[in-house]
Amino acid sequence: MMWKIYSVDKSIALTRQAGQSDALELRWLLRQTRLQLRPIWEHFAKFRAVHTSELHMPGEFLPDASIVLTLGMAFEKNPEDFWDYAAHLAENSVVGVGFGTGMVFPEVPPHLIDACHHHGIALFEVPRSTAFLSITSLVSEEFARRARRQRDQAARTQAALDQAAVTHGLSGLMARLAEALDADLAVVDDDARIYAQVGERALNQARRYLSRGHGSSGLGPGNLIQQMMSTGKRFHILSICSARVLSESDRLLVKHAAGLADILLRRADDPESLGAQLRSHALALHLGRDQHSEVIAHILQEVVDAEGRVRPMVVHADQPATMRRAKRFLEAALRREERLSTTLTLDDTTFMALFRGARTPTEMATLMSSLQSRLRLCVGSALRLSELTAPTVDDLALLCRAQQLGQWCTQADSGQVWLRTPAVAEILDQRAHVTWDRLVQVDKEQGSHFCETIAAWARAGTNLRSAAEALGVHRHTMRNRMAKIAEICEIDLHDPLVIAELLLVVASRQTPRSIPSG
């Protein structure tokens, strides 16, 4: 049979819409001769996914810019329904249909050809000799190949930025970035003082951004304002005006360069000058010349994050010598990261360390990993410096001392401390023996994931859908696992009292955490 090949220029709009770097051209797919695909209705769209589906209306399960592979099984008796089918696919941003012939239909139905033509959806025939799996596999391989190539290119460019930063400082770094992005750029602070500049457009954009109160609306696809690290109320921005649309990899490159620029700007602060300022502030405090809160905020401005927050961590040891060693160990670890150390001794066996609020509890606990067996840790919530009060520190210290050696907790765990009191723990251990412990045994014997499942279920507030998403499994799988858990533990998961009891058992098993290894 001779196929009539259609083409259309109005599909350029679709191409632009799907023109991100994570999309493949339909032309590329049709040029893969080993697949023996025959174009029927072709336009220049790009696609991001290929899915096989025999559903009558599959749109809700498809991401934007998809290609659907189908045998048309749902339309065997009513091929005229292909018109509504194509309309449905167009509404769900499907860009193409691959129709398999030789199984249900001997050739591509004319109804489908007309419908795809009308709704602007690409159409090609997949001969019986070509398995749908070979198409999806080839597409996956190409996506992976392009991703590797993009990562390799990004790594080379990042290495060039690193070398420029080391060799030529901030000005060399920005010159290399401007070349990579074909852009004008500028680094300025919150007072619009210039630290580096290539061209004029980016500087003008930065000044407009600051004058509008940091509003970034109205920026074009090639323009970007990258907020850099703040120090108290002081901050820097990296303004970029490129001649091309910035891709996701371009934006990642900008973030990398901004991080390097942050390091260079922070190194520019003369340590002797900083020491002189600190001594000046100490003298002013001694003489009562300055407000305490203002001086303290200035001294600690290097510790706060971009939102002006800090995060405290209390460390406790059984012996004073161990505490002193832990304090020296932490200070050395922070020096290796070229970060300032801010610690306070609370008593002979306890000290507090202050971190930027953006630091995660796990990152902070990991710093002490080499001494994990001799310490207790408690990591507080991110809060503003003015919210860090003596009662807050006392609460953290109390919670810290309640931990076992080698364990750590967060301030959010404070509501679970009572679960570890002897009387409550004894009761929960009895219930765990016929519930949790059974699941542990079954998991060991069968390689199942019942403990992981019930823990996710508990953390999701018994919501099956949320728990399934957290585990990365289908909700039907989650439902089947919970039914098996109920059978193993001989409990009724529809009974509110049983659910409440089980949640406490899971919480009591999940609360302790070992200090993570580095």
Q: Is there a contact between 261 and 187 (Cβ–Cβ < 8 Å)?
A: yes
Tokens of residue 317, six digits: 């040891």
C-alpha torsion sign, points 159, 161, 164, 169: negative
What distance, in Å, lies between the first and last C-alpha atoms of the chain? Answer: 66
How many Å apart are CA 131 and CA 194, to the nearest integer?
Answer: 60
Which residue has tokens 């942050």?
262
Which residue has tokens 């909700």?
475
CATH domain 12-130 topology:
3.40.1390
Q: Give the pLDDT score at 221.
A: 82
Whether the model clears a pTM of 0.75, i.e. scores above it, the answer is no
Helix (H), strand (E) at residue 139: helix 132-181
CATH domain 167-267 topology:
Beta-Lactamase (3.30.450)
Q: Give the pLDDT score at 283.
A: 58
* pLDDT confidence bin for 100, thresholds 50/70/90: very high
How many Å apart are CA 242 and CA 215, to the nearest integer?
Answer: 19
Q: Is there a contact between 24 and 143 (Cβ–Cβ < 8 Å)?
A: yes
Which has more confidence, 40 or 296? 40
Tokens of residue 290, six digits: 């300055």
Q: Is there a contact between 396 and 423 (Cβ–Cβ < 8 Å)?
A: no
Q: Give the pLDDT score at 342.
A: 82
Query: Which of 118-132, 353-367, 445-459 has the highest mean predicted lDDT (pLDDT)?
Result: 118-132
Average pLDDT, the chain: 82
Which residue type does 480 have?
A: N
Query: For 203-239, how does the pLDDT look when each residue is reduced to its tens digit (9 = 90+)?
Result: 999 988 988 876 655 677 889 999 888 765 678 899 9
Q: Give the pLDDT score at 402.
A: 66
Half-sphere exposure of 164 (CA within 13 A, CB side): 21
Q: What is the DSSP string of 166-188?
A: HHHHHHHHHHHHHHHHTEEEEEE
Q: Is there a contact between 375 and 515 (Cβ–Cβ < 8 Å)?
A: yes
Does the domain at 300-418 match CATH 3.30.70.270? Answer given as yes
Query: For 265-287, how does the pLDDT look when each residue is reduced to its tens digit (9 = 90+)?
Result: 876 555 555 555 555 555 555 55
Q: Is there a contact between 134 and 49 (Cβ–Cβ < 8 Å)?
A: no
Closest CA to 72 of 110, 44, 38, 40: 110
How many Å apart are CA 492 and CA 485, to the nearest integer?
Answer: 10
* pLDDT confidence bin for 338, thresholds 50/70/90: low
Q: Give the pLDDT score at 12.
A: 28
Q: Give the pLDDT score at 268.
A: 55
pLDDT at 95 over 90: yes
**Number of Cβ atoms within 10 Å of the Cβ of 40:** 20
DSSP 3-state percent helix, strand, coil across the chain (nearest 5): 55, 15, 30
How many Å apart are CA 390 and CA 1, to the nearest integer?
Answer: 85
**Number of Cβ atoms within 10 Å of the Cβ of 307:** 11
The 10 Å CB-count burial string (b at 16+, else e) for 193-205 is: eebbbbeebbbeb
Q: Give the pLDDT score at 469.
A: 87
Query: For 420-445, how does the pLDDT look when each residue is reduced to its tens digit (9 = 90+)?
Result: 567 777 888 888 888 999 999 999 99
* pLDDT confidence bin for 347, thresholds 50/70/90: confident
Which residues contact residue 501 at a Cβ distance below 8 angstroms, ignoring those fewer than 6 apart? 431
Query: For 22-77, how does the pLDDT look when each residue is reduced to its tens digit (9 = 90+)?
Result: 789 999 999 999 999 999 987 788 999 999 999 999 988 999 999 999 999 999 99
pLDDT at 512 over 80: no
Q: Is there a contact between 65 and 25 (Cβ–Cβ < 8 Å)?
A: no
How many Å apart are CA 23 and CA 9, to the nearest integer?
Answer: 19
Which residue has tokens 């045998």?
71
Query: Helices 82-91 & 110-119, crossing angle to 10 degrees?
Result: 30
Which has more confidence, 244 or 398? 244
Phi first, then psi, for residue 356 (nearest 5°) are -60, 145
User: How, if at all, do strands 94-100 and 66-70 pair?
Assistant: parallel
268-282, 312-326, 390-404, 481-495, range with the lowest pLDDT: 268-282
Q: Is there a contact between 107 and 90 (Cβ–Cβ < 8 Å)?
A: no
